[in-house]
Structure 1
């Protein structure tokens, strides 16, 4: 018997085979999408790596400690810039970039003008089938909008990135008020010293700005978890411990009577403040006191900062507990990231905006659902721009070729994997941090080299003693930051 098909019959079979293949591909893609993990990115403002899990035993941070115990703690994570907007821009784009707080808004202006702009991390996840939502301060402006009070919906700070970008500012009137608010709707008045630098009012978590923001985050988390059609990428920005240092009084209880550890290297040998004179901090009401001259007042400031850390820790706990109660915990990557460090008297600085260790070193904890393979702690140096490719790999997404960071997955899964030098920049200077040294290069050629094999808190500049190390590290800086080589911009 001869078996043959007409051209039409063969075409019909091929057509149906193709349709079946397409449906099969869609089904496989849908299965893959549904199996992809969710992402919860928690961004905490001005958080030093001064937590119990980082060795600061006097700090009450049980929720972050528990998250660290279930994930990997990166003991030497460095941000790209010691200021909110530029640091968050690097995190969210995976690229080195401008050092201004308005870096993201300038990027938004280029998008609005029709210029070709590379996708951000949330936009990349959105393009790959994720629902993306931000609540609180994730980019520079809380809620992610521009305009006079940062509340103009026609001016998104990150166009195309978020399905929703939210900030319930409540009694603080608008995002700008929320950003610098104290209890019960009190808003900082710019240009006057009538806002207290710290506060500890009686009441529950809702009396300070993070209260309504976290409540909204929990509502969004519940809604996202109930929508099983797509995985979610939820970013939550926790404001405290950002200035002013205000938190409910209940969080001060653990700190009122304890003896704080001494401030390491409170000033340079010359006795002069370096980099800046803590302008943001000093513009608050300090009751006529200066923490560089009044040790008791310095301790009061530090106690209130610690209370704000415990308040922020409680908000982390609410998010984690909600994940666990919903069942999403078993399929969610959780990242806790501090947008930069903060000086509490080191180098006589009260604030950030410097390229010293205290401004650039911040917490990073990554927890994945597959905990059996995950290391508990790594001491390798890593950077914020590494999170974009890391989350792509953990979510089984292709990492875009333009990202300048490297995936940290090998450090999550294998003991002994080393890190890499970290690059940071601010205004007229840039720095590179290696296992043993930090080099800072200023525009105009001034160089600072600090030897971290010696515990001198970056107070002894040895650049003239080790010109070969300076030359080697400066070459690495120029290779990693070709657009900034020679003269930082």
Structure 2
């Protein structure tokens, strides 16, 4: 175990203090009697899959028939959000039911997840569940709380990827990663688990993470499609200095080799070496297929040599096409899991969850990636097939967050929900109830700066209509948006006449949430300000 950690994850800085303390001080609510039957849970999570690219949410771009099967047969959350729009922190929030500052994993660059702390999979084990995770982990440390795990190192590879096993081995498997993760997940359900016990299986895909390498059989898919561009693709970021300072613009920051695959030996880019390593995993026969598709595109691109707006729009179309191709393989494999559960008679007693670790920008504001508290990245898809005992159907409009998954799964298992879990169980919503006291606001906090894409640190509050954001650290800027009148968040209303009252109300709500969740950021900022005087 020690050898594997140093081999695969060396050079990281531990961020364990808050999480370890929370683990030792947690107390549990009154235990509930276990239900007569405990529901299986299949939790499918992708990386960077945004609601815009699921046809059950948005029909502008592509069709996702198997994902739509879940939504059409079950429920679709229309106001589902994350607490920190970044892969590792989002996963830590899901596993612990706590915000980033409370679980100790605030960002991908300086933290290692404290596996000794209380997590939802450990509590499920105590309730008699078998637990397994297959695919992307992305929390630096090795998984704990799982009876079975097999994970990809760091981000993983699309082609012929490596997997780290519980035997302390790193092995390469032949095939496309989305298919392999599904193969392994179905094999665990069919051949490896104890079928006399309830189970919780986490199927964590690399897809649809950058750099969007398609399954070879889908290389030509969508090549005849021209995707509509967002109205704010050419956003000038007026009145929003933090938005202007990012490095995730499709024109300026999308790597022509790494991201759009326009590879030439005589061309150099910052990420050229990474691209060579990724496609270098293809065997000779596979590489011939890959090159046969891309070589004509490469020749045409360098011959035409587009610049300015023409280049921006060319990059956008290549990005959308590759992203959509990766979604196609993902959707296929979701269908395989659903078919298996149906064939084995498991659907009636299984909660199937499909979500992503956050949303993503498909050209909105001219961007790719995530991180900002703006809607496209804070919002995440969440659809569920429900066991037959649950009566909810169709859209669920209440505001939910990824810290809610842990208490939901624990309640379904009949397990006690520890009082230090900050999320709330979604079970009442799954029963078709409409609780009058449901939350009216959400808290968000992003920490990773400086880092890839250079998004400033910020925190904020979102209600059903308004959003207030404070960018801090090397900047002190507030932003206010009326989501009803300005759903694309183009007009910062902070400090504008007529918005004084709503600003004060939102600031008060923000402090209330920070107090509720025990995020000390305001006190720290005040101390820094006093020290600078």
Which bracket does the TM-score occupy, shorter chain normalised? 0.7 to 0.9
1:435 to 454, 458, 464: 464
Check whether the contact 1:86–1:102 (CA below 8 A) recurs between aligned residues.
no
SS in 1 for 2:227: coil
Which residue does 1:216 correspond to in 2? 184
Which residue does 1:463 correspond to in 2? 494
Q: Do the aligned partners of residues 130 and 291 (structure 1) sit closer, same or farther apart at CA in structure 2, a change above 3 Å counting?
A: farther
| Bigger CA radius of gyration | 1
Once the two structures are superposed, the pairs formed by residues 197-216 of structure 1 within 5 Å of their partners are: 207-216=175-184
Residue 254 of structure 1, CA deviation: 5.2
Q: Do the aligned partners of residues 291 and 40 (structure 1) sit closer, same or farther apart at CA in structure 2, a change above 3 Å counting?
A: farther
* Alpha-carbon distance in structure 2 between the residues aligned to 1:221 and 1:291: 51
* Alpha-carbon distance in structure 2 between the residues aligned to 1:414 and 1:308: 34
Check whether the contact 1:291–1:298 (CA below 8 A) recurs between aligned residues.
no
Do structure 1's residue 48 and structure 2's residue 68 form an aligned pair? no
Check whether the contact 1:34–1:228 (CA below 8 A) recurs between aligned residues.
no
Do structure 1's residue 83 and structure 2's residue 83 form an aligned pair? no
* Alpha-carbon distance in structure 1 between the residues aligned to 2:419 and 2:443: 19
Check whether the contact 1:34–1:230 (CA below 8 A) recurs between aligned residues.
no
2:352 to 316, 334, 337: 334
Deviations 1:73-132 (A, max 9, x none): 001111111110001111110011243126872423xx3xxxxx3x10111101111111
1:410 to 421, 428, 443: 428
Q: Structure 1 segments of 4 or more deviating over 4 A? A: 31-34, 270-273, 288-293, 415-419
Check whether the contact 1:34–1:229 (CA below 8 A) recurs between aligned residues.
no
SS in 1 for 2:468: strand
Deviations 1:362-399 (A, max 9, x none): 11112221266112111222111111112222232222
Compare 89-98 and 279-288 and name the one that shifted more.
279-288
* Alpha-carbon distance in structure 2 between the residues aligned to 1:243 and 1:265: 22
Check whether the contact 2:83–2:443 (CA below 8 A) recurs between aligned residues.
yes
* Alpha-carbon distance in structure 2 between the residues aligned to 1:103 and 1:32: 40
2:247 to 277, 280, 286: 277
SS in 1 for 2:235: coil
Compare 72-81 and 447-456 and name the one that shifted more.
447-456
Which residue does 1:36 correspond to in 2? 38
Q: Do the aligned partners of residues 438 and 107 (structure 1) sit closer, same or farther apart at CA in structure 2, a change above 3 Å counting?
A: same
Residue 285 of structure 1, CA deviation: 5.2
Compare 258-267 and 426-435 and name the one that shifted more.
258-267
* Alpha-carbon distance in structure 2 between the residues aligned to 1:408 and 1:182: 34
Q: TM-score, normalised by structure 2?
A: 0.70
Which residue does 1:135 correspond to in 2? 134
* Alpha-carbon distance in structure 1 between the residues aligned to 2:460 and 2:198: 38
Residue 32 of structure 1, CA deviation: 5.3
Once the two structures are superposed, the pairs formed by residues 363-378 of structure 1 within 5 Å of their partners are: 363-370=381-388, 373-378=391-396
* Alpha-carbon distance in structure 1 between the residues aligned to 2:130 and 2:161: 32
Which residue does 1:22 correspond to in 2? none
2:313 to 284, 295, 298: 295
* Alpha-carbon distance in structure 2 between the residues aligned to 1:296 and 1:131: 48
Compare 364-373 and 289-298 and name the one that shifted more.
289-298
Question: What's the Cα RMSD here?
Answer: 3.0
* Alpha-carbon distance in structure 2 between the residues aligned to 1:77 and 1:128: 27
* Alpha-carbon distance in structure 1 between the residues aligned to 2:100 and 2:354: 22
Check whether the contact 2:41–2:351 (CA below 8 A) recurs between aligned residues.
yes
* Alpha-carbon distance in structure 2 between the residues aligned to 1:49 and 1:397: 31
Residue 47 of structure 1, CA deviation: 0.6
Deviations 1:109-159 (A, max 9, x none): xx3xxxxx3x1011110111111110001x325xxxx4xxxxxxxx52x43
Residue 474 of structure 1, CA deviation: 2.2
Compare 409-418 and 339-348 and name the one that shifted more.
409-418
SS in 1 for 2:459: strand
Which residue does 1:449 correspond to in 2? 480
Deviations 1:344-371 (A, max 9, x none): 2222222112221111111111222126
Q: Do the aligned partners of residues 182 and 239 (structure 1) sit closer, same or farther apart at CA in structure 2, a change above 3 Å counting?
A: closer
Do structure 1's residue 60 and structure 2's residue 63 form an aligned pair? yes
Residue 275 of structure 1, CA deviation: 4.8
